[in-house]
C-alpha cells in the first residue's frame, strides 16, 4: 500500500471553514479552547478532572446496554476502567445509518481508536477509552435509511415516524434480502451477511440492532458504544433540561458566537431556538415551544403550564430529547471526555458552543477534525498507471482533465491561441485605421473582431471534440476512474459503504486504516493499492 497525504486546501470538496480550522487559522482561535496537538492533553486531563463525575451511572448504563450484546474482553476492560478517576474518554458520534451508511462512519470510529491508543502510550498514568455515541433519537429518517454499494442504492422503506432508533426492525427484511443478493457467495461475503442478519433480526428496536452490528465490527478493538437516550442518563441531566427550557439561556450564547464567526468570515451553522429540546412520544419527536407562558408540543394537543412542565421533566426526563444545540452539552455532562472527533460540519456546530459550555460549568473538549480518506483500489490504480494519471490529476475537474489528456496525447495541434493572437493584432490595426478615418466605424470594427474571435473559439471547440473522439476509449476510462473515486464529483467517503472494500480486503481494511488514521495529522489520506 502506498500512503500519501493531500492538504485540505488543495481539494475543492472541503469548505473554507473546514480548511481554516485544520490549518489553525487565527480568526477561528477564539472559538475553541485547546490547540489540536497531543501535548494539549496534559492540561485537558487536569481540566476535565474538575468536572462533576457520573462514573457510577455510566458504568450502570453501559453494563445494562451490553447485556444484549457480545461483550469482548477488550470492551469489558474499558467499561470497567471507567469507574476509575484516572480514566477518560475520546468521543465520536453518528446517526445509526443503515448498515453503517457512508464510509466516514467507520473512519470516525477508527480515528477515535487510533487516538485513544496514542494517548494511552503518551500518558500511561491515565487510561483513555474510545467511545462511539449512536444518535438514535434523531428523526431524519431519509438521512439514515439508505446506502450505496457496488452501484446499487439500498433503501429501507418504513412508514414509521419519530426517533429512528425506536423504529421496529420488522420492515428491514426486504433490504436485508436485497443485500444478500448483492454481496455474493464468497466466504467473506457469507460471514459478513450472517453478521448483519444476526444483528438486525434478533433485536426489535433499530437502535439496538445498529449498535450490535457496530459492536461486532469493532469489539476486539475495545470500542465502547453508548446510546445516550437511556432514561437514567436523562435523569442525571434533569437540572440542565429544566434550566434550559425554563430560562432559555443557550440561544443568546449561540447567536453571539455566530455573529462573531460572521465577523471572522464564516457563516453560522445551527439555528438556535428559545427551547432546544424535542418532546418524545411513540412515533413522534416534536419541538417544544412557549406561547404566553404555556408550553406546547408542536403538531399535538399536548400543553403544559410552567409547573406542569417542571413536573413532567422531573418524572419523565426520557421524553425530552436535546437538539443539535444541547446534544454536545448532554454528552460532555455525562462523560469524562477529553476530545470530540467529528467532520467539518459537526465541528462547525461545536465552534458555536464554547461560551455555552462556560455558562453550564462544563469543560469544553478539544475539537478534532476526523480523518478523511480516499482509497484507490488495485483496479483503479492500474488504470491510472496505464493512462499516466498522477494523484494530483484526480483532484482536477473532469472536463479540464479530459482536455488536458487530449492535448498531451494528440499528434495534431488543436489550439488556435496563436491564430487568435494574430487575429487580435490584425483587428487592432483595423480599429486604429477606422478611428482615424471615422471614429463611428471603430465600434463596428471591434464588434467584427469579437465575432471573428468567437468563430475561432467555436472552431477550436470542434477540433477538440473531433480529437476527443479519437481518444474515446481512454477518455471513458478516465471518466470511469473519476466517477468511481469521486462519485457524483463528491468525496468517496460520503457515498460508498465500507462493505465494498471489506469484501476485498477483509479485516486488513480496518487494520490498514487504523495504522494511518491519526486525527492529529492534517490532510486527506490517500491509500493506493498498487
Strand, coil or helix: 433:
helix
pLDDT digits (tens, 9 = 90+) for 443-501: 887 887 788 778 777 766 665 565 556 567 888 888 899 999 999 889 999 999 999 99
Answer yes or no: do 328 and 457 share one domain.
Answer: no
Answer yes or no: do 145 and 50 share one domain.
Answer: yes
Tens-digit pLDDT profile for the chain (530 aa)?
Answer: 899 999 999 998 999 999 999 999 999 999 999 999 999 999 999 999 999 989 999 999 999 999 989 999 999 999 999 999 999 999 999 999 999 999 999 999 999 999 999 999 999 999 999 999 998 888 889 999 999 999 999 999 999 999 999 999 999 999 999 999 999 999 999 999 999 999 999 999 999 999 999 999 999 999 999 999 999 999 999 999 999 999 999 999 999 999 999 999 998 887 889 999 999 998 899 999 999 889 999 999 999 999 999 999 999 999 999 999 999 999 999 999 999 999 999 999 999 999 999 999 999 999 999 999 999 999 999 999 998 899 999 998 888 888 887 777 765 555 556 676 776 778 788 778 887 777 777 788 788 778 877 877 776 666 556 555 656 788 888 889 999 999 988 999 999 999 999 999 999 999 999 999 999 999 999 999 98
Answer yes or no: do 176 and 101 share one domain.
Answer: yes
Answer yes or no: do 333 and 311 share one domain.
Answer: no
Q: Determine the straight-line distance between the first and last CA of the chain, rounded to whole angstroms.
A: 6
Which residues lie closer than 8 Å to 292 by C-beta, 6 or more apart?
none
Which residues lie closer than 8 Å to 329 by C-beta, 6 or more apart?
240, 250, 322, 353, 356, 357, 360, 362
Which residues lie closer than 8 Å to 29 by C-beta, 6 or more apart?
none
* Residue of 208, 212, 207 whose CA lies nearest to 194: 212
* Residue of 501, 493, 481 whose CA lies nearest to 524: 493
Q: Which domain holds residue 315?
A: 238-322
What is the torsional sign of CA 394, 399, 405, 407? negative
- E strand map for 249-379: 277-281, 284-291, 294-297, 303-304, 320-322, 337-342, 366-369, 373-376
Rounded-to-integer distance, Cα 295 and Cα 410, Å: 72
Answer yes or no: do 454 and 340 share one domain.
Answer: no
Answer yes or no: do 128 and 227 share one domain.
Answer: yes
Task: Say if 502 falls within a structural domain.
Answer: no
Task: Say if 413 falls within a structural domain.
Answer: yes
* Residue of 380, 404, 340, 336 whose CA lies nearest to 89: 336
Task: Pick left, alpha or beta for residue 51 (phi over 0 → left; psi -120 to 50 → alpha; otherwise beta).
Answer: beta
Beta bridge partners of 127: 87
**Residue carrying the nine cell digits 483587428:** 427
Q: Are 98 and 142 in contact (CB under 8 A)?
A: no
Answer yes or no: do 208 and 334 share one domain.
Answer: yes
Task: Say if 293 falls within a structural domain.
Answer: yes
Structural domains counted in the chain: 3
pTM over the 0.95 mark: no
- Buried-state track 371-400, b at ≥16 Cβ within 10 A, e below 16: bbbbbbbeebbebbeebebeeebbbeebee
Which residues lie closer than 8 Å to 514 by C-beta, 6 or more apart?
110, 113, 114, 221
Answer yes or no: do 317 and 274 share one domain.
Answer: yes
**Residue carrying the nine cell digits 444541547:** 326
How many residues are there in the chain?
530
DSSP code per residue over 170-233: GGGHHHHHHHHHHH-SSHHHHHHHHHHHHHHHS-SBHHHHHHHHHHHHHGGGT-EEEETT-HHH
DSSP code per residue over 356-419: HHHHHT-PPPEEEEPP-EEEE-HHHHHHHHHHT--GGGGGS-HHHHHHHHHHHH-SS----HHH
- Cell digits for 523? 490532510
Task: Say if 68 falls within a structural domain.
Answer: yes
Answer yes or no: do 209 and 274 share one domain.
Answer: no
Answer yes or no: do 315 and 450 share one domain.
Answer: no
Answer yes or no: do 126 and 212 share one domain.
Answer: yes
Answer yes or no: do 213 and 305 share one domain.
Answer: no
pLDDT digits (tens, 9 = 90+) for 164-214: 999 999 999 999 999 999 999 999 999 999 999 999 999 999 999 999 999
Amino acid at each position: 500500500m502506498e500512503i500519501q497525504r493531500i492538504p485540505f486546501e488543495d481539494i475543492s470538496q472541503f469548505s473554507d471553514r473546514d480548511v481554516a480550522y485544520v490549518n489553525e487559522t487565527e480568526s477561528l482561535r477564539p472559538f475553541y479552547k485547546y490547540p489540536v496537538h497531543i501535548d494539549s492533553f496534559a492540561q485537558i486531563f487536569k481540566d476535565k478532572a474538575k468536572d462533576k463525575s457520573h462514573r457510577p451511572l455510566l458504568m450502570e448504563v453501559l453494563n445494562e446496554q451490553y447485556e444484549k450484546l457480545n461483550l469482548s474482553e477488550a470492551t469489558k476492560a474499558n467499561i470497567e476502567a471507567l469507574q476509575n478517576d484516572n480514566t477518560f474518554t475520546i468521543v465520536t458520534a453518528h446517526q445509526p445509518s443503515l448498515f453503517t451508511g457512508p464510509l466516514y462512519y467507520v473512519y470516525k470510529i477508527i480515528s477515535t481508536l487510533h487516538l485513544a491508543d496514542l494517548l494511552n502510550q503518551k500518558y500511561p498514568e491515565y487510561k483513555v477509552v474510545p467511545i462511539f455515541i449512536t444518535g438514535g433519537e434523531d428523526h431524519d429518517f431519509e438521512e439514515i435509511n439508505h446506502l450505496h454499494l457496488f452501484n446499487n442504492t439500498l433503501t429501507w422503506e418504513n412508514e414509521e415516524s419519530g426517533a429512528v432508533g425506536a423504529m421496529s426492525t420488522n420492515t428491514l427484511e426486504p433490504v436485508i434480502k436485497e443485500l444478500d443478493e448483492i454481496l455474493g457467495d464468497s466466504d467473506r461475503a457469507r460471514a459478513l451477511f450472517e453478521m448483519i442478519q444476526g444483528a438486525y433480526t434478533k433485536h426489535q428496536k433499530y437502535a439496538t440492532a445498529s449498535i450490535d452490528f457496530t459492536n461486532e465490527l469493532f469489539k476486539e478493538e475495545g470500542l465502547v458504544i453508548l446510546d445516550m437516550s437511556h432514561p437514567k442518563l436523562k435523569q442525571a441531566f434533569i437540572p440542565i433540561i429544566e434550566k434550559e427550557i425554563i430560562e432559555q439561556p443557550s440561544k443568546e450564547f449561540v447567536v453571539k458566537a455566530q455573529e462573531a464567526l460572521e465577523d471572522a468570515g464564516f457563516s453560522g451553522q445551527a439555528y438556535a431556538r428559545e427551547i432546544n429540546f424535542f418532546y418524545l412520544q411513540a412515533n413522534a419527536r416534536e419541538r417544544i415551544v412557549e406561547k404566553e407562558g404555556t408550553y406546547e408540543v408542536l403538531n399535538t394537543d399536548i400543553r403544559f403550564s410552567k409547573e406542569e412542565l417542571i413536573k413532567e421533566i422531573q418524572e419523565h426526563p426520557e421524553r425530552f430529547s436535546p437538539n443539535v444545540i444541547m446534544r454536545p452539552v448532554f454528552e460532555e455532562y455525562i462523560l469524562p471526555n477529553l476530545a470530540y472527533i467529528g467532520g467539518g460540519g459537526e465541528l462547525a456546530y461545536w465552534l458555536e458552543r464554547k461560551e455555552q459550555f462556560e455558562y453550564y460549568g462544563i469543560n469544553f473538549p478539544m475539537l478534532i477534525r476526523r480523518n478523511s480518506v480516499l482509497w484507490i483500489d488495485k483496479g483503479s490504480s492500474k488504470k491510472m498507471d496505464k493512462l499516466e494519471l498522477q494523484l494530483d490529476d484526480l483532484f482536477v475537474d473532469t472536463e479540464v482533465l479530459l482536455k488536458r489528456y487530449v492535448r498531451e496525447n494528440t499528434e495534431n495541434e488543436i489550439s488556435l491561441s496563436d491564430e487568435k493572437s494574430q487575429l487580435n493584432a490584425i483587428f487592432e490595426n483595423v480599429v486604429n485605421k477606422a478611428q482615424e478615418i471615422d471614429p463611428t466605424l471603430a465600434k463596428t470594427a471591434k464588434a467584427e473582431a469579437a465575432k471573428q474571435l468567437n468563430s475561432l473559439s467555436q472552431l477550436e471547440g470542434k477540433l477538440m471534440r473531433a480529437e476527443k473522439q479519437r481518444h474515446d476509449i481512454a477518455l471513458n476510462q478516465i471518466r470511469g476512474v473519476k466517477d468511481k473515486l469521486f462519485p457524483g464529483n463528491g468525496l468517496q467517503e460520503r457515498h460508498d459503504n465500507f462493505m465494498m472494500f471489506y469484501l476485498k480486503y477483509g479485516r486488513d481494511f480496518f487494520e490498514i486504516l487504523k495504522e494511518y488514521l491519526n486525527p492529529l495529522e492534517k490532510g486527506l489520506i490517500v491509500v493506493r493499492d498498487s
